[in-house]
């Protein structure tokens, strides 16, 4: 095969890759993933709506939930979305150090959220209100725990992205990764507002 033919084939392959893998393909794929996650949480909310009043003679939400602690947890997650927004603003200005700083603050808020949630779970289980106690508690642990797992994954993703940013800077690929994580993080924020309202606030009502 001649050099001319080889270069022609390479150029054709490069065109094929660009044509069939557009730059916004990553974001489109991630939107599809978020829609599948929406379905998962929709099913968990429906399960809680059906089972959330089946106490089996056990404790109710009004007896178990500590609203001040849950409100503090909610504030942690809301502030983490704000700090991530600052990280994105600095990323658009190509200010790497400030971007890393605000990402680190976001991660700290996320860790604070997880700590309070795990503390709540441990306290409930210690009181004998574990997921096996009633259908209400099973659906509660499933919904809130799934959200907590997503936050844990988000923190691992955030730390990994910080390492990538430190190594390769704010290039096009890392900017796409920042955007995907931004959508994921704000999505978790919206889901938690639903959990706080539907599970905790309504749970303390008679």
Residues 26-33, mean pLDDT to the nearest whole number:
84
Distance between CA 83 and CA 105 in Å, rounded?
A: 7
Per-residue confidence (pLDDT) for residue 94, from 0 to 100? 94
Among 71, 102, 80, 77, which Cα is nearest to 89's? 102
| Residue tagged 């990402």 (tokens) | 103
**Residue count of the chain:** 206
pLDDT in tens, 46-63: 999 999 999 988 999 999
pLDDT in tens, 161-184: 999 999 999 999 999 999 999 999
Distance between CA 90 and CA 110 in Å, rounded?
A: 20
Per-residue confidence (pLDDT) for residue 85, from 0 to 100? 96
Confidence check: pLDDT of 15 > 50: no
* 70 burial via Cβ count (<10 Å: 0-12, 13-18, 19+): buried
CATH number of 26-203: 1.20.120.80
Residue pair 96/165 in contact by the 8 Å Cβ criterion: yes
Which tokens belong to 138? 């099973």
Residue pair 144/199 in contact by the 8 Å Cβ criterion: yes
Q: Is 96 helix (H, G, I), strand (E, B) or coil?
A: helix
Q: Tell whether the torsion through CA atoms of 181, 48, 117 and 137 is positive or negative.
A: negative
Q: Which of 10-14, 78-82, 117-121, 130-134 has the lowest mean pLDDT?
A: 10-14
| Residue tagged 């600052």 (tokens) | 86
Confidence check: pLDDT of 157 > 80: yes
| Residue 25: pLDDT band with limits 50, 70, 90 | low
H-state helical runs in the chain: 3-20, 25-51, 61-64, 67-92, 96-126, 135-168, 172-195, 202-203
Residue pair 121/141 in contact by the 8 Å Cβ criterion: yes
Among 167, 74, 109, which Cα is nearest to 177's? 167
Tell which phi-psi region holds residue 94, choosing left (phi > 0), alpha (psi between -120 and 50) or beta: left
pLDDT in tens, 121-143: 999 999 999 999 999 999 999 99
Distance between CA 53 and CA 48 in Å, rounded?
A: 9
Residues 70-80, mean pLDDT to the nearest whole number:
96
Confidence check: pLDDT of 18 > 80: no
Average pLDDT over the chain reads 88
Per-residue confidence (pLDDT) for residue 203, from 0 to 100? 87
């Amino acid at each position: 095969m001649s050099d001319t033919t080889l270069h022609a084939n390479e150029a054709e392959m490069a065109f094929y890759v660009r044509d069939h893998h557009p730059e916004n393909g990553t974001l489109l794929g991630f939107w599809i993933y978020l829609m599948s996650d929406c379905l998962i949480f929709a099913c968990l909310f429906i399960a809680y709506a059906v089972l959330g009043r089946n106490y089996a003679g056990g404790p109710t939400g009004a007896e178990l939930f500590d609203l001040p602690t849950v409100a503090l947890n909610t504030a942690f997650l809301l502030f983490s979305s704000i700090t991530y927004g600052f990280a994105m603003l600095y990323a658009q200005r190509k200010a790497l150090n400030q971007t890393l700083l605000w990402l680190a603050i976001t991660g700290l808020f996320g860790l604070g959220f997880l700590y309070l949630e795990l503390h709540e779970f441990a306290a409930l289980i210690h009181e004998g209100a574990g997921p096996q106690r009633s259908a209400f508690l099973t659906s509660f642990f499933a919904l809130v725990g799934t959200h907590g797992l997503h936050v844990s994954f988000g923190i691992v993703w955030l730390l990994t992205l910080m390492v990538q940013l430190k190594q390769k800077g704010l290039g096009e690929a890392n900017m796409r990764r920042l955007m995907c994580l931004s959508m994921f993080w704000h999505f978790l924020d919206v889901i938690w507002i639903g959990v706080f309202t539907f599970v905790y606030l309504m749970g303390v009502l008679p």
